[in-house]
Chain A
Amino acid sequence: MSAAHQGVLASFDYLDATVDSIKSLREKGFDEITAFAPFPEHHIEEALGYKNSPVRLFTLVGGLTGVATGIAFTVFTALDWPLVTGGKPIVSIPAFIVVTFEMAILFGVLFTVVGVFWNMRVPDLKSDVVYDPEFSSGRFGVYVTAPADRLAEAREILESNSPSRLEDDAEAKSHG
């Protein structure tokens, strides 16, 4: 973020006020917006124009890695010390599918968790952020940064939707 940017954070009690502010801001060309919500709100996501999340790629890669690991592990360990048990072939594919399946799920989940943490940009414990503790309770928030000369316009849009709290952020510290 360039130093010339400044930010403003508005807290709203109402969902429609939040969505309206985001829409108006985007119409006027403000793109650096972070919205806060106490729960996943699809109206907000739509207003911000979200598409697919890359987390699903992590899941796919993880699942395929798991399948490969499962097959490789069972087959190579069986071949490493060929010992016939129960009259079954050394490489007993149906039996190995069970372990392969579990590995696919395990790796898929591990990769998904890594992927979601990566994409959510957490853990982020120490960062100096703009936040209102009410965002985890009942309030929605809109944080916008803009070049210093356009900030007044953004502020006006937020104010027109009657926020319950408005906070200036001279340093434009962070977006989520």
Chain B
Amino acid sequence: MATVSEKDRATQTHPDVRNYGEVNTDILQMLSRPGKWWWVLFGLSVAGIGVLAVSWGLQLIQGIGLSGLNSPVGWGAYITTFVFWVGIAHSGTLISAILFLFRAKWRQSIYRAAEAMTVFAVMTAGLFPLIHLGRAWHAYWLFPYPNQRLLWPNFRSPLVWDVFAVSTYFTVSSLFFLLGLIPDIAAARDQSKKGSLRNRFYTLLSFGWRGTDRQWHHFGKAYLLLAALATPLVLSVHSVVSWDFAMAIVPGWHATIFAPYFVAGAIFSGVAMVITILVPLRKIFGLEKYLTVRHFDAMAKLCLVTGLIVFYAYLTEFFMAWFSGEDPERHVFWNRVFGDYWWATWIMLTCNGLVPIMLWFKRVRHSIAALFTITLFINIGMWFERYVIIVTSLSREYIPFAWAVYRPSVIEMGIVFGTFGWFFFWFLLFIRLLPPVAIAEIKEVLPPPMRPKSKKTKEVAS
């Protein structure tokens, strides 16, 4: 690659990457050397899956009574965690599809990991409807199929919309992820030893990709079209999730603001999770050249903007509860802040409203350690946001006689913590098997190699 002046370097996205070959070497080495920290984290994830298996196993054998769910709070920690993981998924599609359409120059090095996070987060979220069913072996009843009595699902129900939205989202994000991986898998194929197990695996998954003009041409078009389809999809999915609540007349749920409020919350929590995951990834694999402070700064700004929308939505909810003049509505919101679940609400308000204020400061946005800490708070806060919305409303509906306080049982907590193991298990396997940073796309933002000037003039002269 031609040498670049200091001034040119400052305008580049990855000033420390010298040439295309270096990108392949740096990214593909992640696939060969896992290192001790990878094994530690992998061990913890497997232990988490163990906790999940035992807790869920007990619940399957003894029944849903092992959870704290009962009348009137029939949706608790499971649905909370379902919404949490679906929300986490959203930023992956935002970064890979929406920022692609906006031609954001900082998405290239982060989008692959974010997209993988999307796929695995939806896989994790998908467990919860099954867990929540109790009798998980009847889960196929969710899907419309011609059964014996030709009974079909009620398409007026938001829960059925959710089945369609989440399963479409999983299919689409997986296909988008796998299609984007093809050129990079071909790169891994070309660098692995001929005939080795890895080589055969990559050969199969690369579908015979050679990087010809024809392939790139159609690939580029398809990628653009998929991004254009994924963009409205991602906005619809969390809107549909929010309508699971908003379509019911439960006080605290029945609000028109829910769809945009949930979508903003999803992206807020998702971007926070991307930062939480990328910080250790960058450290363990030495990816400082690719995940620069500039990238973290951009993600932090995205976090800040969506965080402000979320906080504005909180305030709107409280205002509208008062402004509606409805007693049950007013009571539910008063009860959120000062009732049985005051602690959950204050965790939510502190983590999602107060802590992100720090992101206004450039010094904070440029400190990787500070960002890591702040995003951990946001992750916790966003879990509690869903907990507050779901549980406080259900525990105090219209009939005071039916009010009750819900506490998650040990089994529920085991399952909730266990799914983090399940999520990170897949994510850690991914970074060992598939290129976790988009090799081909980073090359798009590197200056292209041109013939050294002197040689070119000589050729023209001759």
Contacts and interface: CB of A to CB of B under 8 A. Distances in A.
Interface of A: 13-17, 33-41, 44-45, 48, 50, 52-53, 55-56, 59, 63, 73-74, 77-78, 80-81, 83, 85-86, 88, 92, 95-96, 98-99, 101-103, 105-106, 108-110, 112-113, 115-117, 119-125, 127, 129, 131, 133-138, 160, 162, 175-176
B214 interface: yes
Nearest to A95: B156
B25 to A, nearest CB: 8
A37 to B, nearest CB: 6
Contacts of B350: none
B398 interface: no
A55 B165 CA distance: 24
Interface residues of B, number: 69
Contacts of B187: 38, 136-137
A118 to B, nearest CB: 9
Given A122-B208, A122-B215, 14 more contacts: A13-B449, A34-B213, A36-B211, A39-B440, A96-B155, A98-B240, A102-B236, A105-B230, A112-B222, A113-B175, A122-B209, A138-B20, A162-B459, A176-B215
B229 A120 contact: no
Contact of A103 (B164, B218, B219): B164
Q: Is the interface of B mostly helix, strand, loop or mixed?
A: helix
Interface stretch (B110-118, B146-154, B262-270): B146-154
B24 A137 contact: yes
A124 B208 contact: yes
Contact of B156 (A37, A92, A102, A133): A92
Contacts of A105: 168, 172, 229-230, 232-233, 236
Contacts, number: 209
17 contacts: A34-B212, A35-B213, A38-B211, A41-B216, A52-B221, A77-B152, A81-B150, A96-B155, A98-B236, A105-B236, A106-B172, A109-B175, A116-B219, A122-B207, A125-B203, A160-B459, A162-B455
Nearest to B452: A14
B160 A120 contact: no
Among B160, B189, B207, B456, the one with the most A-chain Cβ atoms within 10 Å of its Cβ is B207
Among B20, B210, B216, the one with the most A-chain Cβ atoms within 10 Å of its Cβ is B210
Given A125-B203, A138-B21, A34 B156 contact: no
A104 B62 CA distance: 41
For the complex of A and B, the 10 pairs showing the least CB-CB separation, nearest first, are A176-B212, A138-B20, A116-B222, A77-B152, A124-B208, A53-B221, A133-B190, A136-B187, A39-B443, A138-B21
